[in-house]
Chain A
């Protein structure tokens, strides 16, 4: 098993010997010195309104545009188990209108102002964004403050959006190969917690939810003290502070929220699920282990481990499964770290003539190899360089800046991480990767989710089948 790595070391010895030599000579990591001069700092101001709304403003006159981004700290994990899909469904209703905005006109106001808009719902958050020419800042503030102050929800809107959301789920889940992957994965890995269902939820609960429940949900979660307003772009800072106060200041503070608890007792044994679906064209397997929440110090070595396993054609899993064995079409290791829990998954889609057992053996062997042998210094340096490129490339548009400033504030309590997060990666040591691999990627902590290709002639395999 060491031959691919030995071969790699020989191949890259020449081009990178200079870098490695400097690293040995200098105890400070080379790239931590270099990055300070290359990442461009993003300036911003932030403050709270008396009603608790957190405001972040990034003034930038490069192009005459503004990005408005409102993050509500409520997602599918705030739902009751018998109301899954509620937060996402509610997100659709927030486009209906308000006391002062007639029903169905929000998108027309934004389009007519030359802008665009959207929203999304995840496990931990619901966010709304508006991108507009810079002269339309007030329109953005008006719409977002109206939605926060007195959104209006009536039966007609609820019924239409019920149908729309069902089509959204059919499109993304039921009519796609592997469409139920994430739903099944969350149910396995995060069993008995509010992370065990996915934001799109279930049809039956969307039908059962009453209008009064929507109103209660709104009163509880869509309050300024549970929201962050982040604006980036071409505006005057002092003027904008004044406008923000005028539009959002009158919104009353809401009750303090009780945050959902996510308690995951250690997983004691392997969990396995084979999902038999008629529309599965190629065998696919997913290995997933619980991982720390996103703010845990171990989050950084886990992210880097994911890169070493599958980022680029020189990564371990790609080289083994795709290049060497020609067993997989593609393989991806994906850390999925949330506010209160996390996972590391490895997903591989097999070629037509490959069995799931073959794919599983290869993944297991590669994971075991990281655990027993650790990673090389070149692999760590490569992962850090990839992360540096990713972070340096990530925050170009005003929308990406507004969004990430808010995300770092809400989930890390440190808005300035937009400028400094790379330092946390650079602090990771080679040993940390082997340590986290052994800590989290245990045999008893494994969740194995597989999509076999349905056999045309044989009876279904003797595995617990998904009921649907």
Chain B
């Protein structure tokens, strides 16, 4: 430490007069956020492989995206979830215990999760185990056995987990909000229940896997300390048995229409806070205005400087956080604003949220505030480029959602050039104070009377059954 100290004392003496601490320091020129380079190789099977070379860590991460998710569950909600969670529980040549031992031994993780539009299968480990990682990963993706006994165990656990969810306010709010926003007949609004979980059979899993786990319905992203040509050759060999298949036609019903101001209240006795999700219809992921919508959302509820946070938390002290987001899916979307408030101010928080939405529709955002939000979005996009796995996901998103190839190349520029008029226009198109579905999980006897003054209240129990 000593040598540095000496050098430092000299510089202190020479320099202490250089700064004026009464003013915010001015920044240098902003760095340019260029989207990182990646390679695309299409294998003979039709599988698209994206590679991002990143030598910061001696690791390898694989993410296979199957472009069918829980929206393909049909009436058996939870099916894609089981297909995903059981992928690493035994294959044609390894039973569940063997698979676990072999992957645990090299510190490797293989996990799959089902989203609405896709299933993501991820594996990561040290590059020195590349061959073994590819062996286990391709075995899980291509040859899962779905052992009956493993399925029965997972089904049993899921039934217990569903019992637990009845006491988890955020899960209750999320499930009911999805249902009232997309509608009971839309797959995006569906959630698993004890009935749907028990209706699923092992054959359903095998069939789902056979139908959707085909290379022409997938992309693979590889990130790590690898050379593109080498890793692509290894992947091609590891997955050489994978053959394309015919995909069934997929028709997505339109989401339900949201009309009027309705409050869907889950009565959870004993709650000391209300979980509020104020929801509206929103655009799909491939809508032409997504960069601009991000700035609109940030202005309302994207972070600590958003209006909802400043109003509900910093001005009123009603909540720990208040945020909003567009939930942009492949075929439809939604807008949601969230807060958790003490019981007594539940209705006030909803009223202020509606007021903030109205203000965005009625008044242009002052230029200084908008400039802050532009910079917030552009800068945080730049910061996110540090995370190469996130970059890989974005490349896969372009393919999954059918976005323009240059979506992320023009992303920052578009957010940077959005005007107050554009924001107000978008607010008028996409945000409403008249057609709103508000989900609240809380203590009905304390909060219901005031909620009645805001809109029509529907009361549910913790099984989400309408009372």
Contacts and interface: CB of A to CB of B under 8 A. Distances in A.
Interface of A: 7-8, 11-12, 15-16, 34, 38-40, 45-50, 62-65, 100, 104, 107-109, 111-117, 131-136, 138-139, 141-142, 145-146, 159-164, 166-168, 170-171, 174-177, 234, 241-243, 245-247, 249-250, 278-282, 311-315, 319, 322-323, 326, 329, 349, 351-352, 378, 381-382, 385-390, 392-393, 395-398
Nearest to A249: B12
Contacts of B98: 11-12
A386 B107 contact: yes
28 contacts: A7-B97, A12-B101, A38-B128, A50-B12, A108-B372, A111-B305, A111-B372, A114-B375, A114-B380, A131-B383, A133-B27, A160-B317, A163-B318, A167-B320, A171-B320, A175-B169, A175-B272, A241-B4, A245-B11, A245-B16, A249-B16, A279-B270, A312-B104, A326-B157, A385-B106, A389-B108, A393-B59, A393-B124
A241 B387 CA distance: 27
B379 A311 contact: no
Interface string B95-115: 111101111111110000000
B21 A167 contact: no
Nearest to A46: B1
Interface SS of chain B: mixed
Contacts of B315: 160
Contacts of B96: 313, 323
Given A242-B15, A312-B103, A382-B104, A281 B164 contact: yes
A378 B101 CA distance: 10
Contacts of B327: none
B53 interface: no
B189 interface: no
Nearest to B25: A138
B342 interface: yes
B18 to A, nearest CB: 6
Nearest to A160: B317
B159 interface: yes
Contact of B104 (A39, A46, A314, A392): A314
A168 B168 CA distance: 16
B303 interface: yes
Contacts of A117: 304
B405 interface: no
Contacts of A134: 31
Interface in B1-52: 1, 4-5, 7-9, 11-12, 15-16, 18-19, 21-32
Contacts of B424: none
A232 to B, nearest CB: 11
Query: Which 4 pairs of residues, A with B, have the shortest CB-CB distance?
Result: A114-B379, A163-B317, A389-B107, A64-B31
A116 B96 CA distance: 42
Interface string B279-308: 000000000000000000000000111000
A47 B56 contact: no
Interface in B350-391: 371-373, 375-376, 378-380, 382-383, 385-387
A63 B391 CA distance: 13
A175 B271 contact: yes
Given A114-B376, A329-B157, A171 B273 contact: yes
B329 interface: no
B251 interface: no
B105 A145 contact: no
A202 B319 CA distance: 17
A171 B340 contact: yes
Given A7-B97, A389-B108, A65 B383 contact: yes
Given A50-B5, A382-B107, 16 more contacts: A16-B105, A38-B128, A39-B58, A47-B1, A47-B8, A65-B382, A112-B372, A114-B382, A138-B27, A164-B319, A171-B273, A175-B271, A245-B11, A246-B16, A247-B21, A314-B97
A390 B108 CA distance: 10
Contact of B320 (A38, A160, A164, A388): A164
Question: Most chain-A Cβ atoms within 10 A of its Cβ — which of B102, B273, B304?
Answer: B304
Contacts of A48: 1, 5
Contacts of A245: 8, 11-12, 15-16
A141 B269 CA distance: 48
Contacts of B168: 176-177, 281
A281 B97 contact: no
B104 A315 contact: yes
B164 A177 contact: yes
Interface string B162-176: 011111110000000
A135 B30 CA distance: 6
B57 interface: yes
Given A40-B58, A249-B12, A389-B125, A116 B383 contact: yes
